[in-house]
Amino acid sequence: MEELPPVLLGASLLIPFAVALMLHGFFEKRVVLSQPLMVQPRKQFFLELILCLAAGAIVVIYNTLAYGFPASSGLSLLLGCSVVGFFLGLDMALARERKNIADTLAENTALPPPRRLYSITRKFSLVALITILFVAAVLGLVFARDVVWLSNIKESNTSLLQAQLSVMREVFFVMAVLLAAIINLIVSYSKNLKLLFRNETGVLEQVTQGDLSKRVPIATHDEFGVIAGHTNTMIDGLQHRLQLITALKLAEEVQQNLLPAQPPVLPGLDIAGISNYCDETGGDYYDYFKLTNGDLGVVVADASEHGVSAALLMTTVRALLRQRVAMERDIARIVTDVNHELARDVAASGRFMTMFFLKIEPATHTLHWVRAGHEPAILYNTEDDIFLELAGEGMAMGVDENLEYQKNNHEGWSPGSIVVIGTDGIRETQNTKGEMFGINRFRASIREHAAESADEIKNHIIADLVDFKGDAPQEDDITLVVVKFL
């Protein structure tokens, strides 16, 4: 085939490659663009390689049929077409990959992570090996042909010198072409690496600034695709957590609005209350009810555990309690009815709620209370410096729907006496040494500030709790209601 005139050889090469170029768009649309984005670069590579090999094969077949050349004489041409197709296919595949990355970033679409990993090191090694083999094969053919050619030259100094120069120019030309193809491939792949790094770092920078709207394009089956997939999963998780935190903040605001904004103002009574949740929401609850004949109802309740589930239980009990208080005067009947409704809903879940319902009758100086598994309230007689626990029997609410609660009574109190109703989060508060605040410190704090107002007593007890706890975390909700008899 080397014996063909350059014009005929060029024409036989140009025509098939021109036809391949004309059909390129047709095949690209059906073979490449119809595939998923992740597969398109690989399809693009094989399309370019096959088109180059097909054009070369057509040239070999044509020359064999038209000029009678043996098919073996076209092996060098097929090798050249393979080299061209290999480097052209890689370059076009990398270009396709860059376009997919840019399009995915512009559309801000998050593709799923690759199911199969094609390691970068494996791809590098494979490309390097094939490149070395192609370069060795091309140079080997060039040297073999030149050796045969040199052997047929007459042994004159001028002819040998010209032949040597011709061989050197040919070798340098072939090496320059191969080197240019390799450099172009390196530059093309560097562009892809730069784009992948820039997209990854750009999205992460936006995440650090609180913008979770962008996703990293996943357009490769290598480590970059895996990292991008995990990054997108992380962003989705952060977005979900942010939505959850926002919802919890809203729930916290709603729950705080369910607690009394101000204590009731009644003659002879000074009242203050507070709830501090260890999470955004909690299960502690306190409330005041103005009853008939100037009486006052005070409720402190504590749902099992804490957090969102406890807050839902607390909200349910609050609604049931307010409904029954509006219809019933007997506090034992009220608590019994609320427990009946609550137990039917939550008994199977294992959830429960403790409650202390105190009814104060200023006209008769009488205290009535129902204790549903809750911490006993504390009555402190300041004149005699005596602490009395307002105890009594009663199981937690939500366990047995048929339970009947009993009312307890205490008659008389001296001026300045104090009733303190709290949840177990007060006594069970621990410091960094694992010690509990306990009943003795609780009573000591009440005694020390008994001469002050109910609000100041409440604030001092909370401050003593904070000082005792130190750097230890708050592990339970804390609710406290102080009633001082003036």
Q: Quick: pLDDT tens for 157-184.
A: 556 666 666 767 777 877 888 888 888 8
User: What pLDDT was estimated at residue 277?
Assistant: 80
Say if CB 351 and CB 360 are below 8 A apart: no
Name the amino acid, one letter, at 450. Answer: A
Strands (E), 353-425: 353-361, 366-372, 377-381, 386-390, 408-411, 418-422
340-361 pLDDT, tens digit each: 999 988 877 888 999 999 999 9
Region of poorest pLDDT, from 326-330, 384-388, 443-447, 455-459: 326-330
Q: Does residue 125 have a pLDDT over 80? A: yes
Strands (E), 282-352: 284-290, 296-303
467-480 pLDDT, tens digit each: 999 999 888 889 99
Task: Estimate the share of the chain in helix, then strand, then coil, as percent rounded to the nearest 5.
Answer: 60, 15, 25
Q: How far apart are CA 264 and CA 276, in angstroms?
A: 20
- Over range 129-149, report the average pLDDT: 75
Q: Does residue 49 have a pLDDT over 80? A: yes
* 3-class SS of residue 319: helix
What whole-number percentage of the chain has pLDDT above 90? 35
Q: How far apart are CA 369 and CA 376, in angstroms?
A: 10
Say if CB 328 and CB 407 are below 8 A apart: no
Q: What is the CATH number of domain 266-485?
A: 3.60.40.10
User: What pLDDT was estimated at residue 405?
Assistant: 95
Q: How far apart are CA 43 and CA 221, in angstroms?
A: 14
What does the domain layout of the chain look like in residue ranges?
Answer: 6-237, 266-485
Say if CB 247 and CB 144 are below 8 A apart: no
